[in-house]
Structure 1
Amino acid sequence: MADIKPFRALRYHRPKVGGIYSLVAPPYDVITPEEREELYARSEFNIVRVDYSKDEGEGKYAAAAALLESWERDGVMVVESKPAVYVVEDYFIDWEGYRRIRRGFIAVVKLEEFGGGVVFPHEKTFPKHKKDRMALLKATGTQFNPVFSFYSDTKNKVGSLLKEVVDRRLPDWNFRHDDGATRTLWTVTDQKSVENIVEAMKGREIYIADGHHRYETALEYSKMKNAELGAEGADGPHNYVLMYLVSAQDEGLSILAAHRMLRNLPGFDEKKVLDKLSEGFDIKAINREDSDCLINGDRKSCAISVQMGRNFYCLEPKAKAVAANSEIQNTHETLRNLNVTICQEMVIHALVESNEDLLNHISYEIDPTKVCAAVESGEQDIAVYLSPVGIDALEKVARAHQVMPQKSTYFFPKLITGLVNYKHSVDNK
């Protein structure tokens, strides 16, 4: 069963820094170079200076650690006086214009190997990202962004406890960030409330929604530390990971598709691309006037579509082609009919055959209007629009110990970096 604990977070000290908006940041892997410059300009204490520094070379990790130490020394950040869990609400407007609230909590969770029946991944990872996160974790001994996970709570047992916190306590922080979502944070330190939440989570399986790189990095780091420390490190803080947990039944749990864009394709020609894709798909041209449904998010009638220039096409997989595709048929049954799998094997790999070359050609974007503009301007050759994977499909894949292609899901809004931080050297008792 999942081992969940409160912890003494390293946090920004309000009397020293004032408001939190200028200090926190999105996850490092969604920050563009331009956005990083903006975050740097907001404050000399913005967390991006530690978590995703502009410095180059191996020395940047030691510099990040030194900067973090200086913030603690100067009182910019302080350690919570008592172990706590942190309830977080995200108020946002979804892609279809509906107002939603997502309510979860942050704690530390005992690291478990995948396949052990406690923590389940659902997505493949990129080795390059894990190398960077490992170097930062080694240097700072601190986790800055929670792994985003979900669990089943059909009887709303955990949810009712979180609602009690929201209804009865004043929040610590309330702020609106760049993605338009308003975040509210409550600190829960009283022993009874913490014990009730921890007890209610016992026996539940945990599914990683976002943050696979961070989880795998933390797991690898814990193994390294345990090899160094032996029995002494068995229950050390390095064996836990900072995690945000939300119910799969929460009405605010929102999954978006990460649309694919391909650029710099050798000999790119629209007719040749259509000829190639017609081997596996029935292709229907979409009138420019009707393409707004793709751009504005209504992709229910067309799970996979492509754009080249100002032309849009709906792709309907041919059953015989899917059955004849060895890569698809060799995957688990929970994956075979997912549009992300069919897209990966019958669209992306049909156009870029080498996995080594793929990273030089592919990029991802959740905002279809940005995707459309990039293709129309010629910045990108091809866009592939996908409909989102549902939470039930994701859970089935994870329970079967399978993983989807990279960037199969995008949970919106993303978690904020720097709001609460997990420092391994802190005594959490």
Structure 2
Amino acid sequence: MTHPGPDDGPHPGPPPARGLDLAPFRGLRYAAARVGSLAAVTSPPYDVVVRPDGQRHLETADPYNVVRLILPEAETPAEQHAQAARTLAAWRAAGVLTADPRPALYVYEQDDGGHVQRGVIGALRLTPPEAGVVLPHEDVMPGPVADRAALMRATGANLEPLLLAYRDGDATASLVDTTAAAREPLLATTTEDGVRHRLWALTDPADHAAVHADLARRQALVADGHHRWATYRRLQADHPPGTAWDRGLVLLVDTARHPLRVRAIHRVLHRLPVARALDAARPYFRVRPLPGHGLGAALDALAGAAKDGTAFLLAGEAGDAGFHLLDRPDLPRLDRWVPADRPEAWRRLDATVLHSALLDHVWQIPDSPDRIGYLHTAEAAVQQAGRHAGTAVLMHPVRESVVLDLARQGVMMPRKSTSFGPKPASGLVMRSLDLE
């Protein structure tokens, strides 16, 4: 695998007969005067929050941090969802969260100083997979989908936007960029990671019509939020047609103008010491220690090895002194465990080899939350592996063009194969279905 190149964005084939349908909605937003700061009430998406440390940090940043809605705490899942519903209702009653007076599409910008991403947030009409309008590319697990569905039912809200990538919507992208350049934002805040967030509301029906016409024959790739996309579709199926459940909250980014970054999602094997993992992998990979390599140099070594095929970086208790590179796989021995009824590009994915061969057969580790953790940064994965005497499996990102090609074929990648970003911050704008 290699890093994505400049032309690796979604290039849809023949457009679907019925494309993206993005509608305005009355956004539910924090009243700035009622919270310590807008930055202090935001959170990364629920599945990116590192628990419990990251969750505790967010909860103490401000009593109204949105993590109390997206990751409520209670003894049972049912109590968690009920707690989130009570919290949301209380915050609305107290004026902490208020509804915008007019339906809007929201222009959203993220700027980390070296990368600017802009897109438009709205309520997207949900379509069946066979329509070819929205292309998921990763498998999902029923547990997280059931959990998110119960949370959305209890709160009657879409609390976080999904990230969708599309391409060549010139009128929409021009409107987005013009708005950011010429208008005062509704809000502007800089989160503790140094990213500046700005939000504008487009309330003019003429703007809504222009976006609707421009997107009407576009298709999009689900870049981030596969479990929530599956949740939207489940909730739509559970309600009669013509309700607010026919739409879901999304951020659409035209990657021709604002390319997404593609990063890997790393694994932490909680009960597998790294020495045992290395011993079991030696018959199937070349295993090389990387003495004296810090994390950055070790990841560079992984990137170099990944150019020639499947490769992984393993770390455990020893931290920086304990990185090992797995490369040059014995493909004939591994291929007996990789499903043969899939395209060759899928069979050669690092995540496919990891899950089908290493996890299922070599290490014999079930894909359950108590055995495998998924983390979006290599630093967090190494720290967690060291803390729990486990093994961090650091991955190399998949090229976006590979992702899109498989999605067009209707072939799902193993779950948590990619991390597209920057991801929209949670808490800047929400969608409450009782406002529609």
TM-score normalised by the shorter chain: which range applies? Answer: 0.7 to 0.9
Distance in 2 (alpha carbons) for counterparts of 1:392 and 1:198: 26
Task: Give how far 1:141 is off.
Answer: 0.7
Q: Which residue of 2 aligns with 1:79?
A: 99
Q: Which runs of 4+ in 1 moved over 6 A?
A: none
Distance in 2 (alpha carbons) for counterparts of 1:50 and 1:91: 26
Task: Give how far 1:354 is off.
Answer: 5.2
Name the SS of the counterpart of 1:246 in structure 2. strand
Specify which of 283, 288, 291 is matched with residue 291 of structure 2. 288
Distance in 2 (alpha carbons) for counterparts of 1:294 and 1:374: 20
Name the SS of the counterpart of 2:393 in structure 1. strand
User: Within 5 Å, which residues of 2 pair with 1:12-411?
Assistant: 12-17=30-35, 19-31=37-49, 32-57=51-76, 58-92=78-112, 99-153=114-168, 156-226=170-240, 234-265=241-272, 270=275, 273-274=277-278, 276-281=280-285, 283-290=286-293, 292-296=295-299, 299-303=302-306, 304-308=311-315, 309=318, 310-322=322-334, 324-353=335-364, 355=366, 358-375=368-385, 377=386, 379-411=388-420
Task: Give how far 1:88 is off.
Answer: 0.9
Distance in 2 (alpha carbons) for counterparts of 1:371 and 1:251: 28
Residue deviations 1:378-406, cap 9 Å, x none?
63433322211111111111111111112
Which stretch shifts more, 212-221 or 38-47? 38-47
Distance in 2 (alpha carbons) for counterparts of 1:255 and 1:165: 26
- Kindly provide the amino acid, as one letter, of the partner of residue 238 in structure 2: M
- RMSD over aligned CA atoms reads 2.4
- Kindly provide the amino acid, as one letter, of the partner of residue 7 in structure 1: F
Residue deviations 1:282-331, cap 9 Å, x none?
x1514323565554556331222232541412312234335x42524232
- Kindly provide the amino acid, as one letter, of the partner of residue 62 in structure 1: A
Structure 1 residue runs of 5 or longer lacking an equivalent are: 94-98, 227-233
Task: Give how far 1:65 is off.
Answer: 1.6
Name the SS of the counterpart of 2:314 in structure 1. strand
**Contact 1:91/1:182 (8 A) holds in 2:** yes
**Contact 1:295/1:369 (8 A) holds in 2:** no
Which stretch shifts more, 343-352 or 114-123? 343-352
Distance in 2 (alpha carbons) for counterparts of 1:20 and 1:139: 25
Distance in 2 (alpha carbons) for counterparts of 1:25 and 1:287: 35
Task: Give how far 1:70 is off.
Answer: 2.2
Q: Which residue of 1 aligns with 2:4?
A: none
Structure 2 residue runs of 5 or longer lacking an equivalent are: 1-18
Task: Give how far 1:180 is off.
Answer: 3.0
- Kindly provide the amino acid, as one letter, of the partner of residue 11 in structure 1: R
Distance in 2 (alpha carbons) for counterparts of 1:273 and 1:40: 36
- Kindly provide the amino acid, as one letter, of the partner of residue 340 in structure 1: A
Q: Which residue of 2 aligns with 1:231?
A: none
Q: Which residue of 1 aligns with 2:423?
A: 414
- Kindly provide the amino acid, as one letter, of the partner of residue 71 in structure 1: W
Distance in 1 (alpha carbons) for counterparts of 2:355 and 2:365: 12
Q: Which residue of 2 aligns with 1:230?
A: none
Q: What is the TM-score with the length of structure 2 in the denominator?
A: 0.86
Which stretch shifts more, 404-413 or 347-356? 347-356
Name the SS of the counterpart of 1:150 in structure 2. strand
Distance in 2 (alpha carbons) for counterparts of 1:117 and 1:211: 18
- Kindly provide the amino acid, as one letter, of the partner of residue 205 in structure 1: Q
Distance in 2 (alpha carbons) for counterparts of 1:139 and 1:292: 42
Task: Give how far 1:211 is off.
Answer: 1.0
Q: Which residue of 2 aligns with 1:96?
A: none
Distance 1:248 1:335, change over 3 A: farther
Task: Give how far 1:128 is off.
Answer: 1.7
Distance in 1 (alpha carbons) for counterparts of 2:118 and 2:301: 26
Residue deviations 1:234-277, cap 9 Å, x none?
32211100001112334441111112222313xx573x644542
Number of residues of Structure 1 aligned to a counterpart in Structure 2? 407
Distance in 1 (alpha carbons) for counterparts of 2:339 and 2:314: 24
Name the SS of the counterpart of 1:260 in structure 2. strand
Name the SS of the counterpart of 1:22 in structure 2. helix
Which stretch shifts more, 75-84 or 15-24? 15-24
Distance in 2 (alpha carbons) for counterparts of 1:135 and 1:403: 25
Distance in 2 (alpha carbons) for counterparts of 1:121 and 1:342: 21
Distance 1:327 1:45, change over 3 A: same
